[in-house]
Chains A and B, each alone.
Chain A
Amino acid sequence: MPLELFTVGEPIADTKAPRDVPIKDRWNERRFRARLVNPANRRRLSVIVVGTGLAGGSAAATLAEMGYRVKNFWFQDSPRRAHSVAAQGGINAAKNYRNDGDSVHRLFYDTVKGGDFRSREDNVHRLAEVSTAIIDQCVAQGVPFAREYGGLLDNRSFGGAQVSRTFYARGQTGQQLLYGAYQALERQIGLGNVEQHPRTEMLDLIVVDGRARGIVVRHLITGEITSHMADVVVLASGGYSNVFYLSTNAKGSNVTAAWRAHKRGALFANPCYTQIHPTCIPVSGDYQSKLTLMSESLRNDGRVWVPKERGDTRDPREIPEDERDYYLERIYPAFGNLVPRDIASRQAKNVCDEGRGVGPNGLGVYLDFSDAIQRLGKKAIEAKYGNLFDMYNRITGEDAYETGMRIYPAVHYTMGGLWVDYDLQSTIPGLFVIGEANFSDHGANRLGASALMQGLADGYFVLPNTINDYLADGPFPKVDATHPAVVEAEQGVRAQTEKLLSINGTRTVASFHRELGKLMWDLCGMERSEESLRKALDRIPEIRQEFWTNVKVSGEQGIFNQNLEHAGRVADFIELAELMCVDALHRNESCGGHFRAESQTPEGEALRDDENFAYVAAWEYTPEGVPPVLHREALEYEYVHLAQRSYK
């Protein structure tokens, strides 16, 4: 690896998990050893929480219930809009209500293995432990989970598991869980325990004497830039899939809060770990603004195929059976259409690269239900997936009962994020990071129904226990608006805003975002190679240069200016994209969602290199032109044995 790409710094390690006791006792032991803050003192301590999704909403509500003074910030109009609302499938928990052999240990094991052995055992075990309490909490809040006729909770199975441990609320589990947290949060707002800041975007982190003490924000309606102080700052600002422009994320989802914290010294871990979901509705034109997921469950009854001949544009119904290639069934006879997400996605890309893709731009494959309809009848398929067929029809105008669906992979989730220790504290003391924003418990690949579990575990149960240990040293000395660190941060935000508005070039923000997204999708997407990544690394600095000299941002600072918001976010995505490519290039192995063309088995499957890469890559920010610094956290597996995944 050429040295100019990055330099290597000191290794890092988590020091908070009590590794002197067995793994099953560590969370209990950590809670016992962590210092507490008595209820009277909590009232004197303030916490900033950025974000109101499953992690942020549940954390803000819980910390307020405990008696801390909470200030909660979000950029949408209401906390109920956070993108967790869009999660469809379900939430895992080791309840073993099915009596099918599930346990905390099995959920722990499945998650470490599903993550392709690139996650930290201690964190994953804790996640499995607290999973059961999440379901209890949500049911008590009135979350209307699916139930059986006996009145007890229903379960289903998801990829990567042989047990039924997924709880769900039709195809809207994220919405219902989010509303549970939102209602708990609104209750605390009503009681005066949470100061709310809607339509407010975090644009910098204020660090004083080595501790995170506040944030600089812009009010999106008035344009007012202000600073807010607290004893501790919690980021729950979500993932960065929108670096690809087109993804299943909401339009507003962005990396800005996390990235600005990174620029203040928080290490960013495993940025190249991105999850690509195989079943999304394909792109239909240049105007396309986002991609829509079609639940993975469709692969239970749908068969994936493309024509055998390239350039075959016949109506799918006119293509005879022997001229179709059911490629997943052909390549993976044991798992067929139900191979894991990363594999199904990569094979769809392969057949389209061969020129056998279908649909207007050749970037699609068929998901065909005609066999299932013949076998079970249209009614049965309608009962199972009716809402998905309706959604497909609304978006494409096609009747999928007749024609089948056209699907293509799309970016869906990011496993990378700010590095945190067992307490969920970043490398900046007093900055905690929860939910998708941290580098999380999913390693190199997240299993279905585990994102909701992690967000709520962090917010309801983990952070509220670990944050006390930090706050036991508080309250910290008061920081006022005249402190040099505050003045400097605010000035930086003002300067950037003014700069963006003054360039007045010839290209729109969206055109840069689309160009960056396409480049990342083509060169740092489902398959990466040294060649593609070097190409991306040549091009990204040019995009950055052009952005800062030729972007055209409309309007003014002092009004509701969505174009200005977008400009700031795209500026950060461009910087993040470069780090993602460096990370992807340095990790010369394939693991989970990171597939390097150079590192595959003779059958074309992902080939890990445990000897050289069994570590978390945590990156230190360096100014433009100086290569980033890599800090390695070695991953040790005491309880789960390293093994190669195979689905043949």
Chain B
Amino acid sequence: MMSLTLRIWRQRDRTQKGKMVTYHVTDVSPDMSFLEMLDVLNEKLILDGDDPVAFDHDCREGICGSCGLMINGIAHGPEQATVCQLHMRSFKDGDVLDIEPWRSGGFPVVKDLAVDRSAFDRIISAGGFISVPTGTAPDAHAVPVPKKDADAAFDAATCIGCGACVAACPNGSAMLFTAAKVAHLGLLPQGQPERDARVLKMVGQQDAEDFGGCSNIGECSAVCPKGISMETISRLNHDLLGALRAGAVPTS
């Protein structure tokens, strides 16, 4: 069993100033997940009449993308996995951990460790789709897709929209997120008709949100729990250039 000191960002809501507050947790089992350790802290806070720490979480198996925290300055902490998949055996007795929300202008704090990531939805809404109303599709085998393209599209499509890439980026850029969707759909024959328009609209929306620009540092990919590759950003830049050279007018 371990004892830890946690310094956690507490902020009542979007409008109020926050601060770091220190808590001590004891009897931490190495088999607990990081979020279960926070559950135990919260149970104690509730019984003591204090306000429990708010954090987003849902599936707790690393796929829904809800959870995400900075632990000692690293998005999702020391393992390259979501915090729900991070276990306390990655830490040692006596550790002092700074726990903060995603830090980015594009993700305003909702409360404590929970942030507003709706900017990601707006980027998808701007163009991260193939326009195919229900019922209009041809037979699934009408268009063969080379296996290597399908596999590469899948790799890009595994992005869970957690936002770690933005939180890790010194510029607060959402480029890896946007690029993953541009690459996923752009690699498939079904995605070709809207390929130019898609990249322009998605990048335009990304710029309209409070995200910074990409300077190819690579922190994003290094913390991505799904290991989305920097190659997707090259693809995005390639597609963007192609669309602009084809005479498209940027939307931002």
Contact A86 to B64, CB < 8 A, known contacts A77-B56, A77-B118: yes
Q: Tell me which residues across on chain A come within 8 A of B140, comparing CB atoms.
A: 95, 135-136, 138-139, 153
On chain B, the number of residues with a Cβ less than 8 Å from chain A's Cβ atoms is 81
Q: Tell me which residues across on chain A come within 8 A of B245, comparing CB atoms.
A: none
A144 within 8 A of B: yes
Pick from B40, B111, B136: contact of A560, CB under 8 Å: B111
Which listed segment binds B: A6-14, A177-185, A400-408? Answer: A177-185
Q: Tell me which residues across on chain B come within 8 A of A506, comparing CB atoms.
A: 47
In the complex, which residues 51-74 of chain B have their Cβ closer than 8 Å to any Cβ of chain A? 51-52, 54, 56-66
Q: Tell me which residues across on chain A come within 8 A of B139, comparing CB atoms.
A: 136
Q: Tell me which residues across on chain A come within 8 A of B39, comparing CB atoms.
A: 287, 289, 510
- Could you name 18 residue pairs across A and B whose Cβ atoms are closer than 8 Å? A77-B56, A78-B161, A80-B121, A83-B58, A85-B65, A139-B143, A140-B132, A140-B136, A141-B137, A147-B145, A252-B58, A287-B37, A287-B40, A394-B81, A395-B85, A396-B31, A460-B135, A506-B47
Taking A78-B117, A285-B31 as given, write out 13 further A-B residue pairs in contact, using a Cβ cutoff of 8 Å, ordered by the A residue number.
A80-B64, A81-B65, A144-B157, A175-B63, A184-B132, A186-B128, A187-B125, A287-B37, A289-B60, A293-B61, A391-B62, A397-B87, A506-B47
- Complex Cα spacing A391 to B157, Å: 20
In the complex, which residues 114-167 of chain A have their Cβ closer than 8 Å to any Cβ of chain B? 133, 135-142, 144-153
Contact A198 to B118, CB < 8 A, known contacts A151-B147, A182-B124: yes
Residue of chain B at shortest CB distance from A93: B140
Which listed segment binds B: A58-66, A309-317, A443-451? Answer: A58-66
Q: Say whether B118 contacts A170, CB under 8 Å.
A: no
Residue of chain B at shortest CB distance from A459: B134
B33 within 8 A of A: yes
B46 within 8 A of A: yes
Q: Say whether A141 contacts B190, CB under 8 Å.
A: yes
Measured between C-beta atoms, what is the minimum distance from A82 to chain B in Å? 8
Pick from A170, A186, A460: contact of B121, CB under 8 Å: A186
1/0 contact trace for A80-99 toward B, CB 8 Å?
Answer: 11010110000000010100
On chain A, the number of residues with a Cβ less than 8 Å from chain B's Cβ atoms is 80
Pick from B49, B56, B131: contact of A187, CB under 8 Å: B131
- Complex Cα spacing A290 to B36, Å: 9
B105 within 8 A of A: no
Q: Is the interface of B mostly helix, strand, loop or mixed?
A: loop
Contact A508 to B46, CB < 8 A, known contacts A142-B130, A221-B110: yes
Q: Say whether B146 contacts A151, CB under 8 Å.
A: yes
Q: Tell me which residues across on chain B come within 8 A of A147, comparing CB atoms.
A: 144-147, 150-151
Pick from A172, A183, A221: contact of B158, CB under 8 Å: A172
Q: Say whether A77 contacts B116, CB under 8 Å.
A: yes
Measured between C-beta atoms, what is the minimum distance from A121 to chain B in Å? 25
- Complex Cα spacing A559 to B114, Å: 13
Q: Say whether B150 contacts A146, CB under 8 Å.
A: yes
In the complex, which residues 12-53 of chain B have their Cβ closer than 8 Å to any Cβ of chain A? 12-13, 29-33, 35-37, 39-40, 42-43, 45-47, 49-52
- Complex Cα spacing A328 to B126, Å: 53
Tell which of A79, A80, A176 has the most Cβ of chain B within 10 Å: A80
Q: Say whether A77 contacts B117, CB under 8 Å.
A: yes
B184 within 8 A of A: yes
Pick from B54, B135, B141, B161: contact of A562, CB under 8 Å: B54
Q: Say whether B141 contacts A153, CB under 8 Å.
A: yes
Q: Tell me which residues across on chain A come within 8 A of B12, comparing CB atoms.
A: 559
B91 within 8 A of A: no
- Complex Cα spacing A77 to B130, Å: 23
1/0 contact trace for A188-202 toward B, CB 8 Å?
Answer: 011000000010000
Q: Say whether B63 contacts A136, CB under 8 Å.
A: no
Measured between C-beta atoms, what is the minimum distance from B83 to chain A in Å? 12
- Complex Cα spacing A149 to B144, Å: 10
Contact A183 to B128, CB < 8 A, known contacts A78-B118, A78-B121, A251-B58: yes
Q: Tell me which residues across on chain A come within 8 A of B170, comparing CB atoms.
A: none
Q: Say whether A142 contacts B125, CB under 8 Å.
A: no
Q: Say whether A397 contacts B30, CB under 8 Å.
A: yes
Q: Tell me which residues across on chain B come within 8 A of A153, comparing CB atoms.
A: 140-141
Contact A136 to B138, CB < 8 A, known contacts A144-B154, A290-B60: yes
B188 within 8 A of A: yes
Shortest Cβ-Cβ A-B pairs, 4 listed: A151-B144, A140-B137, A183-B129, A190-B125
Q: Say whether B31 contacts A172, CB under 8 Å.
A: no
Q: Tell me which residues across on chain A come within 8 A of B89, comparing CB atoms.
A: 397
Q: Say whether A139 contacts B150, CB under 8 Å.
A: no
Q: Tell me which residues across on chain B come within 8 A of A284, comparing CB atoms.
A: 29, 31
Measured between C-beta atoms, what is the minimum distance from B19 to chain A in Å? 17
B176 within 8 A of A: no
Q: Say whether A554 contacts B46, CB under 8 Å.
A: yes
- Complex Cα spacing A248 to B13, Å: 31
A169 within 8 A of B: yes
Q: Tell me which residues across on chain B come within 8 A of A190, comparing CB atoms.
A: 125-126
Pick from A65, A142, A559: contact of B111, CB under 8 Å: A559
B247 within 8 A of A: no
Contact A285 to B29, CB < 8 A, known contacts A80-B161, A172-B63, A394-B87: yes
